[in-house]
Structure 1
Amino acid sequence: MGSIELLIIAIGLSMDAFAVAICKGLSMEKMSYRNAVITGCFFGGFQALMPLLGYLLGTQFKDYITSIDHWIAFGLLSIIGINMIKEARNTCEVSDDDSFSLRSLTMMAFATSIDALAIGVTFAFLQVNIIPAVTMIGITTFTFSFLGVKIGNVFGAKFQSKAEMVGGFILIAMGCKILFEHLRIIPF
């Protein structure tokens, strides 16, 4: 898997965090760059950690399922993508009670990074170099989360559902590409 493909997956994965970050930005009366950086660090950190954990888990079972790994990658990416598209219909609830508390940020970062765990398992099957991959995912998610807080504070919920929907389509497309590549339907 090349750098461009990893970047595309990183962008797709970061869309959940981006949408939640927009909601975080909505909860602020005045833009706080400190809160934007903290949000980016939480979401980027969890998005980097979860694929690493998934990769470590996936390497334990790689030898048993290498003949169907492309189907697993396609299935996981498609399921995650479809889920993101479904969730795009939900709107965020604006509440400034504890929007930037340690507990709230941890729960949101964990919730938005569960799909990255499955991506990590997929990376193990595809023999992706995990350190550059998780670094790219973490930095991309940090950037999108930081920008999401700013956008949410300035523009409101206008972009939230579109971001999740785009992320879902990106992940489905990457799953199809992996499947087609292994089935030699489309040479990449």
Structure 2
Amino acid sequence: MNLFFVVNSILLGVGLAMDAFSVSLANGLNDPGMNKGRMSLIAGTFAGFQFLMPMLGWICVHSIVKVFEACETYIPWIAFFLLLLIGINMIKDGVYGEGEESNVKTLSLGILMMQGVATSIDALSVGFTIAGYAAAEAFICSLIIAAVTFVICVAGLILGRRFGILLAGRAQIFGGALLIAIGLEILLSKFLF
């Protein structure tokens, strides 16, 4: 392991964490009173998925690459539909919700898991990028990606909380719209770039 490997892994982490950062921002907007434990749970969930997905991609390359190649086309669509569903529910709750209590309930464990999958599913493709790595190197690279994601998501949650206080009742609607925009960006970037 050399400096290039570490820097490359950090840059992969930054690139992969941008969707998770944006969703963390939306989650912070949605719950401006979020405590540090909940922030750690959210950031840890995103980091866990960002660790898991490149490793799964690496395993696919080394074992079931044909199956993964057939599914790769659907990855942006899956992320888009998951974020669209969550975003629409957040907007609906923001418009018809009952104030602060409904805002905190919106991010259930199930929704958090869906967000984790939606923001990290593109990281499966990183398994192809790191396919030349030995198992230990792929594991370390994925750990670095996860650590970078955790830090970036905590920053997103903190920023979201601060803006959530400023936006008050409109934060949930804005957060839902942001999730839908992220989903569209994932989908369009697959076809435009």
Same fold (TM over 0.5): yes
Could you say which residue in structure 2 is the equivalent of 1:25?
A: 28
1: CA distance, partners of 2:64 / 2:109:
35
Offset of residue 33 of structure 1: 1.2
Equivalent residues in 2 for 1:85-164, closer than 5 Å: 93=90, 95=94, 96=103, 98-124=105-131, 126-127=132-133, 129-156=137-164
> Which segment drifts farther, 102-111 or 148-157?
148-157
User: What TM-score do the two structures reach when normalised by structure 2?
Assistant: 0.62
Q: CA deviation at 1:98?
A: 3.2
Residues paired across the two proteins, number: 144
Report how far residue 2 of structure 1 moved: 1.8
**Any unmatched runs of 5+ in structure 2?**
95-102, 165-173, 187-193
Q: Identify the residue that residue 7 of structure 2 maps to in structure 1.
A: 4
**TM superposition outliers: structure 1 runs of 4+ over 6 Å:** none
Task: Provide the residue aligned with 2:46 in structure 1.
Answer: 43
The answer as to whether partners of 1:11 and 1:137 remain within 8 angstroms in 2 is: yes
Contact 2:31 2:104 in 1 (8 A): no
Q: Compute the displacement of 1:29 (Å).
A: 3.5
Q: Which runs of 5+ in 1 are unaligned?
A: 65-71, 169-188
Root-mean-square deviation (CA, aligned residues, Å) is 3.4
Give distance in 2, aligned partners of 1:61 and 1:100: 34
What TM-score do the two structures reach when normalised by structure 1? Answer: 0.63
Q: What fraction of aligned residue pairs are identical, expressed as a percent?
A: 29
User: AA paired with 1:114?
Assistant: I
Structure 1 pair 61/29, CA: closer, same or farther in 2 (3 Å)?
closer
Contact between 1:24 and 1:99, CA under 8 Å: does it hold in 2?
no
CA displacement at 1:35 relative to structure 2: 1.5
Counterparts in 2 of 1:34 and 1:127: CA distance versus 1, 3 Å: same
Partner SS for 2:32: coil
